[in-house]
Amino acid sequence: MTSLNLSADSWLNAPAHNAWRLAEAQRLLAFAKAAKLPDGFGNLDANGQLAPGARAETMNTARMTHCFALAHLQGIPGSLAYAEHGVAALRGAMQDADHGGWFAHPDGHDDSGKAAYLHAFVALAASSAVVAGVVDANTLLADAIQVIEAHFWSEEEGALREAFSRAWQLPEPYRGANSNMHATEAFLALADATGNGLWLQRALRITERIIHGHAAANGYRVIEHFDAHWAPLPDYNLEHPADPFRPYGTTPGHALEWARLLLHLEASLERAGLCAPQWLPDSARALFDTACQQAWNVDGEPGFVYTLDWADRPVVHARLHWVHAEACAAAAALLQRTGEAHYEQWYRCCWGFIANHFIDPIGGSWHHELDAHNQPAGTLWPGKPDLYHAYQALLLPGLPLAPSLASNLGGNVTKR
């Protein structure tokens, strides 16, 4: 087993800390319910309100569906109805009845195309909903798997293709680490929801390319952007460095997120009786430690900056809530895996920063963005639309590294 015994004074063993995590998770759920629209879930503003004429979004609907399915598995009354609403929306106007796959918005026939990033979240939502027993989730899952295998997964590349036009033409000559990172998360969930270990092998192939190959050769700075042949594009979006999904440079928050996923993959492979290479935990350590060294307090203020250039200088100084949520989850995973005090210290540090700067006890939820002086801002990420990152960070520290989150909460520990 990959996990080691923790010290008696670890926060992961502390009843008060665990009670705080679960209470905060329920506070986030209560806030997020206001995002419900007739055709999915929309984006809440800083006060927890939908703007007049708010539009449902497939990404947000998939993330909310995933989270409310998790909440139902936790035993939070009322959550199932929200998960059911999400599945119905994803099987409704958000789904392209003519060509398959999902639009970014309901009735989105004018959307530019089909993106791997979005479809990874649909697959994650479907997997969690299946484990939670949501009506029609099995059909949604089958549809998501069919689309991924027919269009996005490249057996030759061992990774996802990035995007296509609506009718699955005009493939984008770009490959992204971000979409493949979320595919890795989704594939771990698919392996548990379907019992098919092929998804673990695919997740391993993705991590071999992006982390064991490119990131390791780059001092464990995650390269985000590639051409269609997987040649790095170091100057991608140099003129638009603050892009919320494809920023220029390296994104330390993704290194933290990858670190956690590598440990989940290692534990999932071992649980399935498959070989887990030693570079998985080694790379997890290196990614986390490098991100902390290079991005925390790098400009004289506490917190992780959003992006760095290739000389490790901050480019976008904003602090985003999802980065710090992932830092907590990754530190907890590394602490569980290694038992080392180093990760306990980071776990406590990051939760302290979140409590002091991101948690909004008056307006609800968390501020999603802080400026360079750690004051609430909304330049990159206005409002409070996201439940997924913070909610997962509050749940993961109390669970084993495998199986995946929904199966963990659902007690699905049957060996396959």
Please write the tens of the pLDDT for every residue from 388-407: 999 999 999 989 999 999 99
Q: Which two tokens stand for residue 258?
A: 């990858």
Mean pLDDT of the 23-44 span? 98
Using DSSP, state whether 11 is helix, strand or coil: helix
The CATH number of the domain holding residue 332 is 1.50.10.10
**Structure tokens of 7?**
């010290």
How far are the Cα atoms of 217, 242, 357 from residue 318, in angstroms, in the given order? 27, 9, 13
pLDDT for 303: 98
| pLDDT tens digits along 369-379 | 999 999 999 99
304 lies in some domain = yes
234: left (phi over 0), alpha (psi -120 to 50) or beta: alpha
Task: Tell me if 4 is assigned to some domain.
Answer: no
Report yes or no on 42 lying in a domain: yes
> Pick the residue with more confidence: 7 or 41?
41
Do strands 114-115 and 163-164 pair parallel, antiparallel, or not at all (unpaired)?
antiparallel
The number of angstroms, rounded, from the C-alpha of 176 to the middle of its chain's C-alpha atoms is 15
- Please answer whether residues 396 and 333 qualify as being in contact, where contact means their C-beta atoms are separated by less than 8 angstroms: yes
Which H helix or E strand runs over 116? helix 116-132
Look up the domain containing 311 and give its range. 11-409
Residue 160 CA: distances (Å) to CA of 119, 203, 223, 386:
11, 10, 16, 24
Q: How large is the average pLDDT for residues 285-305? A: 98
- Within-domain flag for 375: yes
Phi, psi of 363, deg, nearest 5: -85, -15
Residue 4's pLDDT band, with cuts at 50, 70 and 90, is: low
Q: pLDDT by residue (tens digit) across 272-290?
A: 999 999 999 999 999 999 9
CA-CA distance, 44 to 316, in Å (whole number)?
A: 24
pLDDT higher than 80, residue 260: yes
Residue 160, in any domain of the structure: yes
Could you say which of 105, 119, 225, 389 is catalytic? Answer: 389
* Whole-number percent of the chain with pLDDT over 70: 97
Residue 26: pLDDT above 70? Answer: yes
Which tops the pLDDT comparison, 244 or 81?
81
Question: For residue 150, is it within any domain?
Answer: yes
Check pLDDT > 50 for residue 1.
no
Q: Minimal CA–CA distance to 183: which of 202, 163, 197?
A: 202
What tokens appear for 311 in the block? 């000389």
Amino acid at 223: I
Q: In the chain, pLDDT over 90 holds for what percent of residues? A: 93
Query: Is-catalytic flag, 389?
Result: yes
The predicted-structure confidence for 324-349, as pLDDT tens digits, reads as follows: 999 999 999 999 999 999 999 999 99
Total domain count, the chain: 1
Q: Is residue 3, in this structure, part of any structural domain at all?
A: no
254 is an active site residue: yes
Instruction: Give domain status of residue 246, yes or no.
Output: yes
Q: Which one of 72, 182, 254, 264 is the catalytic residue? A: 254
pLDDT band at 3, cuts 50/70/90?
low
What number is the average pLDDT over the span 287-298? 98
Of the two residues 398 and 303, the one the predictor is more confident about is: 303
- What is the rounded distance in angstroms from the CA atom of residue 180 to the CA atom of residue 201? 14
pLDDT higher than 90, residue 109? no
Q: What are phi and psi of 133, to 5 degrees?
A: 75, 30
Average pLDDT for the chain: 95
DSSP H/E element including 260:
helix 252-271
pLDDT at 46: 96
Number of helices and strands (H, E) in the chain?
Answer: 14, 12
pLDDT tier at 108 (50, 70, 90 boundaries)? confident
CB 260 within 8 A of CB 330: yes
Model pLDDT for residues 358-371, shown as the tens digit of each residue: 999 999 999 999 99
Determine the Cα–Cα distance for residues 310 and 324; give it in Å rounded to an integer: 21
